[in-house]
Structure 1
């Protein structure tokens, strides 16, 4: 009996102590949260705003760390440098992670990875190709301006030295277009970890001391950063391909609106151009805008007074040339590998050429119509067949060369009879019965 009483007392004390400790344990686990920000496209004028918002959110909510997953071909240099400064300035530990498997962090993505407090890569990912290139008439050429190259090299090597990483590799990413896979990057001390998932990476970095705090990330709650609606929309239109296409779409909409007023195309064109300019950060080549405006003027002139198509062809050439200059491919405005720059250029120029060919075809058809003899005059004196009876004061229908026409007459005409077209009153033909002999000869 006493043994039972002692067991009950022990069980009561155990449950009391456990219930008192559990809330504290649960609260501690809930406090261990990690914010994950995904960068899975080009670094655009809004990317630094998104990173700034994510960092501010992580600071305010007391997150253990911010993980930035990178899968990018590169992007704007100014935005990249801004992101690097934000990473250095925040008290929140920032982990750069090239993810998912098969992804790449090229050019600007490599510079961002080097600047993070902890650098990691998923298996089968690649970093590198940070040599700046610029588009030329003959293709692409490396940027050899020592002022630009030395500035990038110094920034990259200083960030590598700050985080005790391989400074030689950081330099050769830029000067030699070095590319490294995950295992080689780990071996060369470019990164600290290779991990297949965010959860596994958090387990590996647990206990690391970063920016004066010890990371407690094993088993931490992973929270994915949700981009605010405004920034999400800006991120879409700031994509180099989207923003350039918006500009071109707006241009063609204005051309259509001027040539065919009343459909609201001009308003749509103005809105599209405004969004395109916002997406590019208003950094637009003035010469390109001038060429495009000249092209618009020539196409409108061709539409209003078509001749031999000389104005139309010249206008198309001007717009294509302007669109090439509008495409954001020049360094340092767009810091991406040559292959991606060519993709941007093709994405902009190809639709321009197709739309231009369509416009020229439309102009050709307009010229054909204007040169064609009036069709209505040829109706007079020809014969048609009644397909719905005609009565005085009641219109019927006739068939003429496969076309149905409303018809009226001062006499009754039955279905199947032949009639002669006397005149055309709007969309109604005035007809009279054909003499029997003429009708018979027409049937023969």
Structure 2
């Protein structure tokens, strides 16, 4: 029995932790696919893919890219992983029509081999300041001040010190990568300062990339024999006859990619907020609270990894507070409408970035607005209807109910009402068995009168 358990354990371990390739095993080039914005999910996918390639002893990692750019933090995570990799990395902008804009340009410069398919482009690497100037810093620059010698012309200079600091940091970063890989550092600076772009053929002429390649097989053929710097050593690439293995994102990476989409993150937040509100208003329904709690936690996770505006978060919290206030102290829609407006405005400025692919779309904002205003109107309608209905809870709900005299003496006695025996008083003499109606209540004593008989 113990031998069987040991065998099962060994088999499970083999499936859970693939062993590195032994010497003499098939030589392989691992292909990672980065399509869309450079996000935390993309950074984790590339980092884990490079770690897997290092563990397996792969000959080359090909990073096949088509990206409009992305977050600075995610881009730097990918570049750090490339620089730390013991396996050479070849970035390949493909297929035709693809691009490596903004963050993709930095990644291309950081790679040991840079290649592009015909009909692709790169560049426009100017960083975008998160949030911008709070008090109109763009207007503080004197347009009539002449440019200093060696500085760009006035219309190319940063609008404010914060932007200048951001651009200078980006310039130093990409020039360092260019010098590390012996690529065109001057054009790299232009891509940052002037948002310059190049086609694949022009990039090869300007020595921004190493070569153009139509396919991965063509890339491997042209990369063969090249010497690249990996860590502190020069490595001569031997890419002839490599087996190509695609490593696609797993379910965890795909889930993270969906959750960290700003539109999905916003919807998760809204569903979570309304689910919890409905659960608190109608305790015991369970389903809204369960779905709301899960959605809210997923949304908060997305907020933790995406650039957000604190003003947007504050407006959403204010809107939630106003909606809760409307539900508990109905103002016939005034608080609810104010809460809906606050939530919509907060959602509009919540994700503080202009990166393509990481923006909240107008249809989603429209859906949030409709949901908020619908909730406000629903609460207002329930408030109006409640004023027309008879009181159903509390002490006041006893007023107007019927009862029957149990025992009576003089002006006081006991009556049966709501299936309970109550002490009662009346301004008229009553007798046992008579039908009465409650007209008032003082603590545990009811005030009753004889119910008129129907003719």
Residue 362 of structure 1 pairs with residue 386 of structure 2? no
Unaligned runs of 5+ in 2: 1-21, 139-157, 391-455
Tell me the distance in 2 between the aligned counterparts of 1:219 and 1:240.
43
Partner residue of 1:150? 168
Tell me the distance in 1 between the aligned counterparts of 2:101 and 2:282.
46
Q: Deviations over 1:152-202 (max 9, x none)?
A: 101101111221211122111111111222122122211112222222211
CA positional deviation for 1:367: 5.1
Report if aligned partners of 1:44, 1:240 keep a CA contact under 8 Å in 2.
no
CA positional deviation for 1:247: 1.9
Partner residue of 1:346? 362
Report if aligned partners of 1:324, 1:345 keep a CA contact under 8 Å in 2.
no
Unaligned runs of 5+ in 1: 1-26, 331-335, 375-444
Aligned length: 340
Partner residue of 2:257? 235
Report if aligned partners of 1:248, 1:323 keep a CA contact under 8 Å in 2.
no
- Which of 295, 300, 308 is the aligned partner of 1:272? 295
Structure 2 counterpart SS, 1:46: helix
TM-score of the aligned structures, taking structure 2 as reference length: 0.67
Report if aligned partners of 1:44, 1:79 keep a CA contact under 8 Å in 2.
yes
Which is worse superposed, 216-225 or 231-240?
Answer: 231-240
Partner residue of 2:55? 60
Q: Deviations over 1:233-291 (max 9, x none)?
A: 32332233322332232223223333344142122222112112222335654443332
CA positional deviation for 1:116: 0.6
Structure 2 counterpart SS, 1:312: helix
Report if aligned partners of 1:240, 1:328 keep a CA contact under 8 Å in 2.
no
Structure 2 counterpart SS, 1:151: helix
> Within 5 A, what are the aligned runs for 1:381-392?
none
Q: Which has the higher helix share?
A: 1
TM-score of the aligned structures, taking structure 1 as reference length: 0.69
Partner residue of 2:236? 214
CA positional deviation for 1:208: 1.5
Distance 1:46 1:61, change over 3 A: same
Report if aligned partners of 1:65, 1:94 keep a CA contact under 8 Å in 2.
yes
Tell me the distance in 2 between the aligned counterparts of 1:102 and 1:153.
27
> Within 5 A, what are the aligned runs for 1:23-42?
31-42=26-37
> Within 5 A, what are the aligned runs for 1:20-419?
31-134=26-129, 144=160, 145-210=163-228, 211=230, 212-261=234-283, 262-281=285-304, 284-329=308-353, 336=355, 340=357, 343-344=359-360, 346=362, 348-363=364-379, 365-366=381-382, 369-370=385-386
